[in-house]
Amino acid sequence: MREFIVEADGGSRGNPGPAGYGSVVIDAATGETLAERAEYIGVATNNVAEYRGLVAGLRAARELDPSATVRVRMDSKLVVEQMSGRWKIKHPDMKPLAAEAARVLPAAQVTYEWIPRERNKHADRLANEAMDAGKRGEQWEASASRAGLDARVRETPAAPEPAGPPGDAAAGAAKAREALTRSHRAPAAAQAPSGTEDAPATRVAPATRVAGAADGQAAGSGGDEDTTKTRADRRAARGVAAQAAVTEAGPAPDAGRAAEGGPGVTPSVGWGAAPDLGAPATFVLLRHGETPLTPQKRFSGSGGTDPSLSDVGREQAERVAAAFARRGTIQHILASPLARTRETAGAVAARLGLEVTVEDGLIETDFGAWEGLTFGEVRERHPEDLNAWLADPEAEPTGGGESFAATATRIAATRDRLVARYAGRTVLLVTHVTPIKTFVRLALGAPPESLFRMELSAASVSAVAYYADGNASVRLLNDTSHLRP
C-alpha cells in the first residue's frame, strides 16, 4: 500500500483579510513531490485558509491513489488537534470545512502530525504565492510557481548518500567524525548555538539511555528466556574475540572517541549546517511478557513449545499497553508470529485501537535441541557445542538451530524492509530477546559478543530511530518503568 505525506498551510494578510492556501503531496517512501495545490480564496481568516489547504491536499492525494494511507503534517496546532479529535471545533466557519476534510478519505487512512513552521516552508510558500496572485487580481497557476515540484531539492542540501544499509555504524561514525572535524576547524561564531533544536541523526539524543551488564546481571542472550550464567561463563563470554558484524561494516576505529569527544576532537552542540533529515523511522522494541518458562531461565525460541503468556505476563502486557496509551505515539503495531508476542501485541492494540500485523522476520532464534533447557542443563549435556556457540556467532545450537550470524542477517533484512515501509513513522515491534538485542547491536555497530552484555527484561521497552542518511540512534534500552506500581 502506498503512503503519502500531505503538507498544508494557509495564511491571511489581516486575519481576516486577503487569504490563500498551499498544499503539497509527497511520496513517503521516496520523498518525491507528486502534486501541488494553491488558491487565493478572498477575504478569510488564517484558520479557514488552513482548513481549505488541508481539504485541497487530501483531495490531491485521493486523486493520486484513493487507497493510500496519508500522513498530514501542518504547523497549525489547532487544525491538527481538531482533526485528530482531541479538541472540539467551535467556530461556525470551520465546522463544515472540518467535516469536508473528514469525508475526503476514510478516517483509518489518515493521521495528523504537528510540525514547526520552518519545516512547512513548501506549503507556506505556495500559500504566499496564491495571496500574491490574488493581490494582482489573478489566480495561482502551477506553471508560474516559483515553488516548483522540485522545491525540496533546491531548498534543502542533499543528505549524504549512505555507504551501507540504515544503521551502518561505519558510515555513521565517518560522517560524525567529518562533522566534528569541520566544527573544530570553523570559527566559534560559525558553530551552531547551544539551543539548536533540529540536530541531525549523528547527534546523541538527550533521552538516550545506555545499559551495560555488570557481573551480577543475567547476561545471557539465550533467547526468549535470558539465562543466568556462572561468573566463569560470563567471563568466557566477555573474552570472546571481537568479530566483524555479520551484515554491517562494523565500528570504525575512532567511533567511540568521535562520539565521546576523545583526544584531538572538540565536540560541539549541533552540527552546524547539516541538512534537515526529517522525521526518522522509529522502532519501539517491546519484548513480550513472561511465559511459564521465563522465571525458570529456560531457552525458549522458535523451535520449542511456543508457550503463551502466564498470568504475570498478561498483567505486564496490560501495564505496557496502558503506558503506550498515555504516550499516544505509536502509529503501527507489528508482532512476531509466536503466541506470546501476538498476545502481548493484542493487549496494546486493544488499548490503542490499532491492528496487529504479523511479521515473520521478527521471530525468535531457533535454539535447536536446547529448547526448554536451562543454561546449566545445556552446559552439562552439550558442553562443546555451548563453548563453540559462545565463541563464534556462526556456530549453531545443538541439533541444527539458528546461529546468531543467521539471526543478524534475517534481522538486518527485516529492518531494511520496515525502515523503507515506515519512513517517518513510529512503529511498535513486539518481539523477543535475540531480535531486540540484534537491532540494538547493529545500530551501535557493536561486535557479536555484545549480545551477551545486554540485559533485556520481560515486557521491557527499547527504541531505535533510523534516519534518511542511513544513520541509526539508540534511544532507549530495557526500560521497565511502566511495570512498577
**Torsion sign over Cα 63, 67, 68, 71:** positive
Strand-strand pairing, 33-44 and 17-27:
antiparallel
- The reply to whether 184 belongs to the active site is no
The active-site residue, picked from 122, 288, 332, 382, is 288
Q: Nearest to residue 319, comparing CAs of 459, 428, 429, 433? A: 459
Q: Which residue has the cell 561486535?
A: 447
- The reply to whether 288 belongs to the active site is yes
Euclidean distance between CA atoms 25 and 3, whole angstroms: 10
Angle at 26 between CA 148 and CA 417, to 5 degrees: 140
CA distances (Å), origin 440, targets 151, 207, 211, 367? 36, 16, 11, 21
Q: Which residue has the cell 496494546?
A: 348
The active-site residue, picked from 7, 364, 371, 449, is 364
Q: Nearest to residue 310, comparing CAs of 416, 206, 200, 459? A: 459
Q: Nearest to residue 76, comparing CAs of 96, 44, 60, 54? A: 54
Q: Which three cell numbers stand for residue 398?
A: 545443538
Q: Which three cell numbers stand for residue 238?
A: 566477555
Catalytic residues: 288, 364
